Structure 1
Amino acid sequence: MLEYLSQPWPWYVSGAVIAVVMGLLLFFGKSFGFSSNFRVICAACGAGKRVPFFDFNWREQRWNLLFLVGTVLGGWVSEAFLQNGQAVQISQATVQDLQALGFSAPRGLQPEELFGLEAVMSVKGFLLLLVGGLLIGFGTRYAGGCTSGHAISGLSNLQWPSLVAVIGFFLGGLITTHLLLPWLFS
């Protein structure tokens, strides 16, 4: 069983699991979104006493905190017990694109030149992660949710703002991949 779990699974397995989870969430009247956990944690820590945005009944969102804990725990379990020592499997075209930007093919989950300790401790790497994190945080708040919330939960609820947000996510990804990354790392 452990050997089966440690192998890459077909893409359609995750699609089916997402569909089942979304069906259950819709049935129970819940919505999914990972970034909403930040608001729940701040409210649970008492931020609602000073900031009205955090003044709500956070206990109704405890299930989402369990999802957060499960995600972190699941990542740790998969890294500690299910890792087979192979690098992430990406297409040869992606490897060539990475090499054109000066990155080696990932030996783990991501290129070391971007996310390795040496890169993170450099001024450029630190600033990239800091600015990127701030932009993601701002964008998540401005868009009213994160990619998972809009693309999975919002689209399954047929919400027009989620469709607009998902289109924006894809356009932002394309612009970043084809214009911003080559400019930053040329």
Structure 2
Amino acid sequence: MTGLLTLPLWSPYIAGAGIGVLAWLSFLVSDRPMGCSTSYVKTAGMLLSRVYPSHVEKNEYYQKYTPKIDWSWLIVIGIIIGAFISSSLSGTFAISWVPPLFASTFSDSAVIRWVIALVGGIFLGFGARWAGGCTSGHGISGSMQLSLTSMVTSAFFFVGGIATAMVTFALFG
């Protein structure tokens, strides 16, 4: 088993089975579906409440999704810690401001990379909230519950991602 943990790439079947078990445990332990996009909105609400608390208190969205650290917020922390442990064990950990593929395709400028990442992250967050969840919420937990809405949403996540990549590479690549 320790040999598996040191591999730089895992079998998609093993990784998929692990995600399935994790999603199942999420329901068993917390009676909640697995997902993390709401945690970013809650973080924004926690930060905004330090500057403009009356806005957060009156905001209908923050009344539904209370800005606080909860289980979904901890999933994000777990993703970061897990990625660090995995890359360290496999010997692939490296800090890179501009990944090689981005540098060879678009630019080796760290500023351009970070601006594009920021804009992409904003669009991703907006889309996830508009869709009522992210790929883990809809694609894993929703599909596991046989939610037609989640299956359609997941399909459009992929269609949108593929279309965006094709346009981006055609225009700038």
Q: TM over 0.5: same fold?
A: yes
Indicate the SS of the match to 1:82: helix
Contact 1:34 1:149 survives alignment (8 Å): yes
Counterpart of 2:40 in structure 1 is 38
Contact 1:114 1:120 survives alignment (8 Å): no
In proportion to residue count, which structure has more helix? 2
Change (3 A) 1:44 1:176: closer
Q: TM-score, normalised by structure 1?
A: 0.69
Change (3 A) 1:155 1:85: closer
Contact 1:34 1:146 survives alignment (8 Å): yes
CA distance in 2, matches of 1:109, 1:126: 11
Question: Shift of the alpha carbon at 1:129?
Answer: 2.7
Question: Shift of the alpha carbon at 1:76?
Answer: 2.2
Structure 1 residue ranges, 4+ long, deviating more than 6 angstroms after superposition: 114-117
2:57 to 37, 42, 49: 49
Change (3 A) 1:4 1:23: closer
User: How many residues are treated as equivalent by the alignment?
Assistant: 162
CA distance in 2, matches of 1:114, 1:24: 41
- Percent identical residues: 28
Counterpart of 1:149 in structure 2 is 137
Q: Which runs of 5+ in 2 are unaligned?
A: none
Please say which of residues 140-149 and 58-67 is displaced more in the overlay.
Answer: 58-67
- Are 1:121 and 2:111 an aligned pair? yes
Change (3 A) 1:169 1:57: closer
- Are 1:66 and 2:74 an aligned pair? yes
Question: Shift of the alpha carbon at 1:33?
Answer: 0.9
Q: Which runs of 5+ in 1 are unaligned?
A: 88-107
Question: Shift of the alpha carbon at 1:38?
Answer: 1.6
Cα offsets for 1:34-66 (capped at 9, x unmatched): 101123334555464242211247499722222
Counterpart of 1:130 in structure 2 is 118
CA distance in 1, matches of 2:59, 2:120: 25
Counterpart of 2:25 in structure 1 is 24
Name the Cα RMSD after superposition. 3.3
Question: Shift of the alpha carbon at 1:116?
Answer: 10
Contact 2:35 2:133 survives alignment (8 Å): yes
